[in-house]
Amino acid sequence: MITVLKNQGKKELHNNLFFRDLNELMQSNTKFRIFYDKYFKDSSDVQTVILYLKLYETLEIEYKQYNNNETVDEDLLIYAIKELMSNESTRKNILSSFDRYNQNKNNNPNENKNKYLLDVISQIKTIMVQSPKLLEIEQSTTSYL
């Protein structure tokens, strides 16, 4: 019986890209597994991690578009995330935008993602005005998020 089940699993791994990617991620990516074990403890943790992943992705996209290159200044990216999430006003707006994004996911996913991206980008611009440190970085590097 175990052999039959294993053969069916092997068939799924061969035929199903999602299961293949999932298995590879969980089995062979030590960094991800450590991250997963540390931060994916309950549903609230999962939502928080997904929020930060989407925020990171949004800032990364905006940074690349603004700077016309593929190289992202990771330090600046992390600083911007910290500032956005430390500021009560921008954090509330980002959380609200993320909630709207999640609630509307059955509609057009690309449209929802674009609305979420635009909401977050407006928060980035808000925090830039409120954060003298980020403005100093922008002026000294001629790039910003």
Residue 135 has what pLDDT? 46
Q: Which domain holds residue 7?
A: 1-39
Contact between residue 138 and residue 79 where contact means Cβ atoms under 8 Å apart: no
Phi/psi region, residue 17 (left: phi>0; alpha: psi -120 to 50; beta: rest), is alpha
pLDDT score, position 143: 41
Q: Is the pTM here over 0.85, yes or no?
A: no
Domain count, the chain: 2
Residues 89 and 52 in one domain: yes
List Cβ neighbours of 58 (8 Å cut-off, separation of 6 or more): 116, 117, 120, 121
Each residue's pLDDT tens digit, 85-124:
998 888 888 888 888 777 776 666 555 555 666 666 666 6
- Asked if 72 and 93 sit in the same domain, the reply is yes
63 and 28 in one domain?
no
Question: Please, what sign has the CA dihedral across residues 59, 45, 43, 97?
Answer: negative
Same-domain check for residues 19 and 85: no
- In this structure, the answer to whether residues 53 and 109 fall within a common structural domain is yes
For residues 54 and 81, membership in a common domain is answered with: yes
Q: State whether residue 99 is helix, strand or coil.
A: helix
